[in-house]
Amino acid sequence: MAFVALAIPSNRYRPLLLPITAIAHTSMTVFALTRPDLLTTNEWLMLDPPGRIVLLLVSTLFLLCSFYTVGYLKIKVDRSNRAFTACLLSFIGVVSLVTWSHHLGLMWVAIEATTLVTAPLIYFNQNQRSIEATWKYLLIGSVGIALALLGTFFIAYASLHEGLESTLTFDDVLRIAPKLSKPWLHAGFILLLVGYGTKMGLAPMHTWKPDAYGEAPGVVGALLAGGVTSCAFLALLRFYHICHVAGDSDFTAKLLLFLGIFSMALAGVFMVGQRDFKRMLAYSSVEHMGILVLGLGIGGPALFGTMLHVITNGLTKGVLFLSAGNIHRSFGSKSTDQVRGALRRLPLSGTLFLAGFLAITGSPPFGPFISEFAILNGAFAADRFVVAGLFLFLLLVVFIGMGATVLHVVQGRAGPAENQVPYRDGFLTAAPALVCMLLVLMLGLYIPPPLRRLIEDAVLYLEAKP
């Protein structure tokens, strides 16, 4: 599809390819999830339960974002969107490859490819600040991913060292996991945690995140925060699974818990007094990646919440970034010094931004409340009271810090000094965020049985020891 996009000369009609591809992709995803028996699988490409969850999330998010993009590119008709559209289409391709790949090397290739196709997306606004953001994103991302490759090699060497046939097919590695050489497995896991952690944006490897999210168009921010980070988390999940089967849960739990708490704490510190609301969303993403690895670190009882949180976080980030993009466009600024009274000026986007904030900080009745509550419950069930206490405390800090900025943006009266484009919420730019918000609300009130079954499958899959 990306090649088709490159071939279409018209700037106006090219973006229409996005919804078409997205609808096709979503229907294929739904088909793949409902009739798994009809799919041809081999040992390299297979859709396992955690992969299914991420695929479903990314597909939904991309579908909504594709409609938004059509509206967005209509506003920016003066700029060629050839590269932008092509990169978005390749993005959905490589992300699906990540979720399907069952070979650790292939998965690495796909994740590195997500870095490469998203870099031009961040650069779409072509000014000095977005160059800087793209440069940092590319360099930090590539180096991090290079370390992940070294870690992958270490895992393969762990099997070679024990005289076993070296392999990187996920199922084979799982099968021989208990026999792997421990020092190499541990060293590999640390490198992978640093490598894919960089891609997820865990502190202290998060430094690219505020810059990239701050400068990228809102729709790209939504796809990065909801899609790319979830893929990196999926990669980490696979290696966590290997270590778990190898009987090393204690070792990985310590590392994951530490990084999780550290990310949440750092995000909390930077969020208090943050004046740029898009950068604030980036720190919120750091915080939620922290929550995900924390849930993984607690393990067992918290896994259900963690997998649910992948979905709820991804969707809520979609709402926040899309509505923040609208507010940014309307005010021509993303600093809280200039942006006030978004509720009056953009009633729909302003409301969605506020609701998205309430959802992401874990207020009932939205989806993240359920998933964060499940993780907290898991922490108590696993007798990790200190972790649970810190978790609650940091959530509170984030709520206060983020609340100050968000309320400042939405409340009050818009100043008269605005000389910006007269942007108003259009159907294409507001409706996707609204649908996304409704999905988040629905997940908070009621989890559909097929989804629940999907998550339970994933938890069983992760806990089983073959």
Partner 1 sequence: MTDALNAILVIVLVMNLFVLGTSRILAVINTVATQGALLGVIPLLVHTHLTISVVLTSVAAIVLKGVVIPSIMIRALRDAEIKREVEPLIGLLPSIMLGALATAFALLFAGELPLAGEHQSALLVPTSIASVLVGFIILTSRFKALSQVIGYLVLENGIFIFGMLLIDAMPLLVEMGVLLDLFVGIFVICIIVNHINRAFSSLDTRLLASLKE
Residues that bind partner 1 (CB under 8 A): 103, 105-106, 108-109, 112-113, 115-116, 119-120, 123, 126-129, 131-136, 138-139, 142-143, 146, 149-150, 153, 156-157, 160-161, 163, 165-168, 181, 183-184, 210-211, 214-215, 270
Residue 70: CB minimum distance to partner 1, A: 26
Please identify, using beta-carbon distances, which residue of 278 and 384 lies nearer to partner 1. 278
Nearer to partner 1, 106 or 255 (CB): 106
Residue 397 to residue 303: CA distance in whole angstroms: 24
CB of 124 to partner 1, least distance (A): 12
- Rounded to the nearest 10 degrees, the angle between the axes of helix 303-331 and helix 229-245 is 160
Q: What does the chain come to in residues?
A: 466
CB of 258 to partner 1, least distance (A): 23
Helix 17-34 vs helix 82-100: crossing angle, to nearest 10: 10
In the complex with partner 1, the residue whose CB is nearer, 143 or 460, is: 143
Smallest distance from partner 1 to CB 161, Å? 5
What are residue 361's DSSP bridge partners? none
* Residue number with CB closer to partner 1 (68 or 184): 184
Residue 148 three-state SS: helix
**Least distance CB 296 / partner 1 (angstroms):** 26
What's the rounded Cα separation, in Å, for the pair 186 and 178? Answer: 13
The neighbouring-strand residues paired with 169 are 103
For 45, list phi and psi in degrees, rounded to 5.
-115, 115
* CB 331 to partner 1: min, Å: 19
Nearer to partner 1, 184 or 369 (CB): 184
Looking at beta carbons only, is 119 or 410 nearer to partner 1?
Answer: 119
Instruction: Report DSSP state, residue 214.
Output: H
Please provide residue 103's backbone torsions phi and psi, each rounded to the nearest 5 degrees: -120, 125
SS3 for 22-70 is HHHHHHHHHHHHHCHHHCCCCCCECCCHHHHHHHHHHHHHHHHHHHHHH
Residue number, 112 or 418, with CB nearest to partner 1: 112
